Structure 1
Amino acid sequence: MTDIDEHEQGERVRAWLKNNGSSLITGVALGLAALGGWQWWQNQGELRKVEAASEFLAYTRASEGDQTDKALAHAAAISQNHPETPYVALVALNEAQRLQADGKAEEAIAKLDAVPTEHLDPALAELLQLRAMRLLAGLDRHEDVLKRLDAQPLPSYPGVAGELRGDAELALGNREQARQAYEQALAALDLAAPTRGIVEMKFTAAGGRLPETPEA
């Protein structure tokens, strides 16, 4: 899987649900296929699928309409009635974003950490950890970021993981470790990746040397 922004997977599903509410099952099926939730979708009964998808659609509309109380009620219903679905993770990602915007980063981290991951596709479970690590970095809790990366190295997002490790090491004054981490990130990133230029700058700032570009 190529590295993506931590919200991109959730946005794929939310966009489908918003634009295809009248074709709910089709929209959700395609969205979950992009999320790695296709196996879950296939294994559920039709009624169960529609109930879970409808609840998430209602949550999404309330959230986008700034109806916080209503959105939280739908979020609670999803957590209670459909805990085995990918929607629990998508709600947590969205709620974490809202909490961060309200200056409640610690609560956002707790929200992400509370999601059960045993039913999730590994890439989606890693996305929760990735978002939590970014929040920890924003709180200057760099040692905690490194501990999490050691415990859960995020194999689905090697470029992002390398950059996170490099940022944490550099913030702690470990320049050589940071250089090595950025080098690993660059090795994992596609040449056309939108974040590659930023990682290259971090790599050179940490003492790395980029290969010379052959003259045309």
Structure 2
Amino acid sequence: MEHRTEEEQVAALKQWWKDNGNSLIIGVGLALALVFGWKMYQQNVENTKSAASALYQQLLEVALEPTATEETASSIEFIASKLKSEYEDTEYATFSALFLAKNAVGKKDLEGAEVELRWILANNPDSSLAPLVKGRLARVLDRQGKQEEAFALLDAKNAGTYAAIYLEIKGDIYHRAGDLENAKASYVEAYKAMKQAGVQRPMLTLKMADLGLTEEGA
């Protein structure tokens, strides 16, 4: 009876394996594929970050050379473009575009600067640097006479810690346009926001003083 029970158990096991073996093998295979796939993905992410970091380090080394030449400028353009094209999802690509935008402004190439800044917002809209980029883009647009586009970027109500900076930039735009009343109002709001946040910006105080405003009156 015991022997027959063992035989029955073996037969039942064989039947179970016949019914479920293939699905079990497939399930184990999928599990292993997911584990190894995830590990490969993580390794690829790390390799990408390391490669992008090394390339950005090269960019900084070239940019910080004491004597700037045409060859230096070409190297900067090449490395930055490579970072943007091959590592566009990394912060290093964002840093490179910011670098190129700054250089473009230095060369008075405002259209080129706008292109770089818009590239960041289009490719990395969730970057922690996006609010900073919007502020810089607003200044570039203002210099091109695109004040309405600039103001559209400066939504201080939803800017979080950048609210005061956005208000100051608005004041600068109004001031450049000769709209002193709105400039004063924006500077005062910027000052209040900064005071509430517990930060100081001496330059803002100077701008206010230039328009006859005092910290006490703000």
1:107 maps onto 2:112 in alignment = yes
Alignment of 1:1-216 (within 5 A): 45-65=45-65, 66=68, 67-115=72-120, 116-121=123-128, 124-150=129-155, 154-190=159-195, 193=200, 195-196=201-202, 198-206=203-211, 208=213, 210-211=215-216
What corresponds to 1:33 in structure 2? none
* Count of aligned positions: 167
Partner SS for 2:160: coil
For the Cα contact (< 8 Å) 2:142–2:173, is it kept in 1? yes
Summarize deviations over 1:106-135 as a string: whole Å, max 9, x none: 2111111112123522xx011111112222
After TM superposition, give the deviation of residue 157 of structure 1 in Å: 1.7
Further displaced range: 65-74 or 80-89: 65-74
Task: Flag the 1:210–1:143 CA change in 2: closer, same or farther, 3 A.
Answer: same
Residue identity over aligned pairs, in percent, reads 21
For the Cα contact (< 8 Å) 2:117–2:137, is it kept in 1? yes
Gaps of 5+ in 2: 1-41
What corresponds to 1:25 in structure 2? none
After TM superposition, give the deviation of residue 147 of structure 1 in Å: 2.5
Gaps of 5+ in 1: 1-41
Task: Flag the 1:148–1:192 CA change in 2: closer, same or farther, 3 A.
Answer: closer
For the Cα contact (< 8 Å) 2:155–2:166, is it kept in 1? no
- Greater Rg, structure 1 or structure 2? 2
Task: Flag the 1:162–1:139 CA change in 2: closer, same or farther, 3 A.
Answer: same
For the Cα contact (< 8 Å) 1:159–1:186, is it kept in 2? yes
Q: Could you tell me the TM-score, scaled by structure 1's length?
A: 0.65
After TM superposition, give the deviation of residue 156 of structure 1 in Å: 3.2
Question: Which protein, 1 or 2, shows the higher relative CO under an 8 Å CA cutoff with sep ≥ 6?
Answer: 1
Distance (whole Å) between structure 2 residues aligned to residue 61 and residue 100 of structure 1: 21
Distance (whole Å) between structure 2 residues aligned to residue 74 and residue 101 of structure 1: 19
Distance (whole Å) between structure 2 residues aligned to residue 179 and residue 43 of structure 1: 53
Summarize deviations over 1:153-201 as a string: whole Å, max 9, x none: 64332222111111222333443332221111101224662x33x3234
Letter in 1 for 2:85: Q
